[in-house]
Amino acid sequence: MKKEYDLKKLRKRTGAVKVDSAAAKFAISIRLDGSVVAAFKNEAVRVGIPYQTLIGSVLHRYVNGELMDRKVVAAARAFKSA
């Protein structure tokens, strides 16, 4: 590996760099119960993915309406059948 590189030959980008904010990942800090984190870590090991990826997947599914609370679904079914 060279100690120094000649950066004079690099071309400059013209215009603004486009970033799709919907596709971008953001680092955040969030406080979760230890038992919740442990459960995510155990499940992530079971399915073979990183636990942060699993948390992101669960949040994504919830926000898109693909993941619902069982109690809410049961209450809605009970209300509908009454």
pLDDT, tens only, 13-59: 777 777 777 777 888 899 999 999 999 999 999 999 999 999 999 99
Q: State the Cα–Cα distance between residues 8 and 63, nearest whole angstrom.
A: 47
pLDDT at 1: 65
Q: Locate 27 and state its tokens.
A: 């680092």
57-66, long-range: CB < 8 A, 24+ apart: none
pLDDT at 43: 96
Length, in residues, of the chain: 82
Q: What is the DSSP string of 1-59?
A: --S----TTPPPPPSPPP--TTT----------HHHHHHHHHHHHHHTS-HHHHHHHHH
